[in-house]
Chains A and B, each alone.
Chain A
Amino acid sequence: MQNLIKKTSSFFETPINLRGRILVLVGALVLLPTFFVPLWNMTLYSNQFPDGLILKIYSYKLEGGKTPNRDDLREINSLNHYIGMRPLQEEDFTEFKWIPFVIGGVMLLALRVVVLGKMSKLVDLFVLFTYFGLFSLWSFYHKLYLYGHELDPTAAVKVPPFTPPMFGHNTMANFEVYSFPGVGSYFMAVMPLLLLAAMWFSRKEWLKERKP
C-alpha cells in the first residue's frame, strides 16, 4: 500500500518532457477556434424550407442562417410560438457568458502546465477540462429539455412535451431536425486527447526516475 502511494506521488511529481509540453501547448491553441466556429449545428428541413432553417450555437452567441430573403432564427421563433415555445434569444443563455470565460481559463492553465511542467498540474487540467466538457453537454441537453417542456399552455397548437434532438435526427411536426456537434466541439474533444498524449509521452521520465 505504502508502495502504491509512493508510486503515485512520484508519478505526480514527474516532470513533463519537451514533447509533452509541446502537446499541452497545442492543446491550449486548439481551443482558440471555439471563439470563432460553432459548437453545435441544428438544421430544420421541411417542404417549405428544402434548404433547411439553420441554427448555429457558438460558445458565446446564437446565430441563425441569414440570407437576404430569410432570417432563420426569427423564422424558427415565429414557427415555435405556435406550439408555445419560448423564443430562442441570446439573453436567456447564461452559457454564452461562462463558457468563453472557462475556456479562456483552461487555456491559461494549460500555459501554466507548459511553464511549470508538472504531471500533477497536467492531471488537474485534464480532470477540470473533462468535467467542464461534460457539464457543458449536460447543460445544453437540459436547455433543450426545458425549451421543449416549458411550453405555454395557451399555445394555439398543443403538442406533448418533447426534447429536441441533441445528436442525430428526428421528426417534429412537418420538420426533419438534424442536430450535430459543430467544428468547435471537435476541437474541444481533441484537447483532452492531447493532454493524455502528453502524459503518455512523459511516462518515460517517470520510469527513468523510478529506476535508481
Chain B
Amino acid sequence: MKTKLTLLALLTALTAIIMGCGDDKKGRGGAGARSDVQEAALKTYVAPGDLDKYYLFKSGGHSGQVYVYGVPSMRHISTIPVYTPYPATGYGFDKESKEMLGGYTWGDAHHPSISETNGNYDGRWLFISDNANNRMARIDLRDFKTKQILGPLPNVSGNHCSSFVTENTEYVLAGSRFSIPLPKGTYENIQDYATKFKGVVAGIAVDPKSGEMSLGWQVLMPPFNYDLGDAGKGPSKDWGFWTCYNSERAIGKLEVTSTQKDRDYVAAVNWVAAEKAIKDGKFKMIGGVKVIDPKDVEGVVYLLPAAKSPHGVDISPDGKYIVASGKLQSITTVFNFEKMLTAIQNKNFTGNEDGIPVLNYDAIKDAEVNVGLGPLHTQFDDKGNAYTSLFVESAVAKWKLGTWEILDKIPVSYNIGHLTASEGDTKNPTGEFLVALNKLSHGRHLSVGPSQPEASQLIDIGGEKMNLLYDAFTEPEPHYAQMIKADKLKAIEVYPKEENKHPKAIWDVKDAKVVRTGKHVEVYMIAVRSTLEPTSFEVNKGDKVTIYLTNIEQTTDELHGFGLNEYNINVVADPGETKVIEFVADKAGVYPYYCTNFCSALHQEMQGYMLVKGSGGVSATRTNGNKLMAGQ
C-alpha cells in the first residue's frame, strides 16, 4: 500500500512536470487526440515485474504473423509466426513448420478469433485467416505456437470475411472476397463476371477436442465481395453472417462501379440447415468440397439489405441484434434477429439474387443509427452499449442498443479500421478497455522514415465518457484483434520431457550419434548448456542430412538455436522440444553451426562443425569434443 502511495505521489509529480511542458506542442508529438495525462498514466502503468490484465492478440496483416501485446501497458510481448518464416523462433526452417507453410513465404493475416465455449472465450485456440493464399491457421494458446494451416481452401478466394467462430467453436467462418470461376483453375472471360464468377461462404469444421480443422460446408454465392462476418450468439447461435460489397456484380474500377447502389447485403446462413442439407446429400462436389447451391436448397441462406458497402457485421452480446456498418454512409444498420426470422417465415421477400431470397428491409430493420462518417466495425460492453469505429471521421462512437442514442464520441489518431473491446465480441464483454486499430499514425511517434507503423490506441470504456489512455505502434498491419482476460490462458513455458513423444528424441549426451543409410545421414543431436552434441559430423557432398535436435533443458527460457552458416538454416528448439532439420549438403567444405539463441555464460562456445567432403565415400563419423581435444 505504502509503495502504491509513493508511486502515486511520484506519478503526480511527474505528471505536473509533463503537464508543464504540455504547452509546448513539440514535446507531445504533434496534434491529434489527447488525454488527461495523470489519469492515463495511472491506468496504464504496469510496474516492473507486474503483469498485464489482458492479452491482446493483433493480426499482423501482410507481415503474416500475430502480435501479442499486454493491456493496459500496451507492451509488445511477442510475435507468433503464422504465415511467414520467422528466424527469431526458427519458424519455417524446421521440417514440420516448413511443410505447414507449404512453400508460401507470406500470408495476409487478417482476423484473429479466439475459440469459444457457450459464446465466451475459452482461451484454447486462436484462429486467423489468410486473405492472400486463402488459408486458415490455428494457434494453440497453451504454447502460443501455430499448429495447423489449412489450405489454400478450395473455392475460397480472398479469405477476408473470416475467421469468426460459432458459439461453441463448431465452425470457423470463411469466404471469398474476390469471386472467381469455380472450381479453381477454371478460365472465364472477365466480361462474364456477373454470371460465371462465383463467391462462396464457408464453415470450416473444428474438432472439439483437438481443434483440428477440416473442410466443412460451403454455400455457393453470387459474385459479390464478401467482406466481414460474425457468428450468431444465444438465439441466433445457429447462424453465420457475412457482409458484402459490390452487389452490383461490377468489374473494372470498383471504386466507382461497385458503389452505385444505396444498399448492399448481409448474407445470413443457417449453418444448422447447411449441415442438414449436406447430411441429406443436397450438395455438389466442387473442388473436393461439399457445396450447397441455394438454387437447389431452400432455407439455408438469405440476404438482408444493408447500408452501402458495409464492412463489419457484428452480433450484439444477447444475440438479438445484427449491426451492419455501411462504410460509405453515416449510418449503422441494426437488424432485429426475431424480425428476420418472422420475415423468413412469412416469405416477406423483395426479390432474389441467384435464387437467394432478399428480405424486406423495412420488416427486419430496427434502426439506422447515425453514428458518423465511415462506420466500419462495432464492439460491445457489459452495459448494453455499442462502440463503432468511424474511419472517415477518425473517431469512435458510443451508442446505446435499444434506444439507439449516441452517448459519446472520441477522436482517434488516425483513420481507425477495426476496434476491439475487452472480450467485446463475446456474450459477456468485460467493458473495461477498447483498442482502436488505426490505419494511419501520421507522426504520432518518433519519425522512422516513410515506412510507417500503424497506431493502436488504448481507450478506457469503464466510465460514461471514453478516455484515451495510450498510444502504441505496431508493424504493418493489424486488422483486427482479440482481447482476453489474462487469467483465462494457462500457457506452458517448458515442454515436459514426459510429453515429448518424438521418435527421434534423445535425452542423454551419450546417445548423440550419426547414422548413415546409403546417401542419407541422420544426426541425433542434443542441445544443452553449453554444447551441441555431436560437436562435429562428416558427410559427403550430395548427402541428404536430417538432424533431430532435442533441447533437453527443463527450465523456462533456456532456448537453444541451431544456425548453420551459409546453409540458410536457423532452427530454435524450446526446452523439451525436438525439431527436425532436413537439407541436402550440396556445398563441400567446412560449415560451422552454433547456438543462435543466447542461453548461458558459455553460449559463444556452443558451436560445432559440419564437414562436407567434396568427393570419396567415407562413412559418416562422429567426433566428440573431448576426443578431439585428446587427439590434438
Contact = CB atoms under 8 A, between A and B. Distances in A.
B493 interface: yes
Contacts of A74: 553-555
A200 interface: no
A156 B601 CA distance: 10
Interface string B130-146: 00000000000000000
Given A78-B528, A78-B529, A68 B492 contact: yes
Interface in A135-166: 156-157
Given A75-B554, A78-B553, A70 B602 contact: no
B601 A82 contact: yes
Contact of B555 (A70, A81, A82): A70
Contact of A69 (B493, B601, B602): B493
Interface residues of A, number: 11
B556 interface: yes
Interface string A29-57: 00000000000000000000000000000
A69 B553 contact: no
B55 to A, nearest CB: 18
Given A74-B555, A78-B553, A82-B602, A69 B528 contact: no
Contacts of A209: none
Given A78-B528, A78-B529, A70 B601 contact: no
A68 B529 contact: no
A123 to B, nearest CB: 50
Contacts of B497: 71
Contacts of A70: 494, 554-556
B555 to A, nearest CB: 5
B553 A68 contact: no
B555 A68 contact: no
Contacts of A68: 492-494, 496
B602 A71 contact: no
Contacts of B553: 74, 78
A68 B492 CA distance: 7
A28 B601 CA distance: 50
Interface string B592-604: 0000000001100
Interface in B592-621: 601-602, 605
Contacts of B530: 156
Contacts of A156: 530, 602, 605
A144 B461 CA distance: 60
A199 B554 CA distance: 52
Nearest to A49: B555
Most chain A CB neighbours (cut-off 10 Å) among B529, B555, B556: B555
Nearest to B576: A71
Contacts of B601: 82, 157
Interface in A65-108: 68-71, 74-75, 78, 81-82
Contact of A71 (B493, B529, B555, B605): B555
Contacts of A81: 529
Contacts of B493: 68-69
Interface string B522-556: 00000011100000000000000000000001111
Contacts of B496: 68
Contacts of A82: 529, 601-602
A74 B558 CA distance: 12
Contacts of A69: 492-494, 555-556
Contacts of B554: 70-71, 74-75
A71 B602 CA distance: 21
A112 B530 CA distance: 56
A13 to B, nearest CB: 60
Interface in B314-369: none
A74 to B, nearest CB: 5
Interface in B545-597: 553-556
Interface string B476-499: 000000000000000011101100
A75 B493 CA distance: 15
A82 B602 CA distance: 9
A71 B601 CA distance: 20
A69 B576 CA distance: 11
A81 B553 CA distance: 14
A174 B65 CA distance: 39
B21 to A, nearest CB: 36
Contacts of A75: 554-555
A166 B530 CA distance: 30
Nearest to B529: A78
A78 to B, nearest CB: 5
A82 to B, nearest CB: 7
Interface in B358-385: none
B181 to A, nearest CB: 52
A70 B557 CA distance: 10
A173 to B, nearest CB: 11
Contacts of B494: 68-71
A78 B555 contact: yes
Contacts of B555: 69-71, 74-75, 78
16 contacts: A68-B493, A69-B556, A70-B494, A70-B556, A71-B494, A71-B497, A71-B554, A71-B555, A74-B553, A75-B554, A75-B555, A78-B555, A82-B601, A82-B602, A156-B530, A157-B601
Given A69-B555, A71-B497, A71-B554, 13 more contacts: A68-B493, A68-B494, A69-B493, A69-B494, A69-B556, A70-B556, A74-B554, A78-B529, A78-B553, A78-B555, A82-B601, A82-B602, A156-B602
Interface of B: 492-494, 496-497, 528-530, 553-556, 601-602, 605
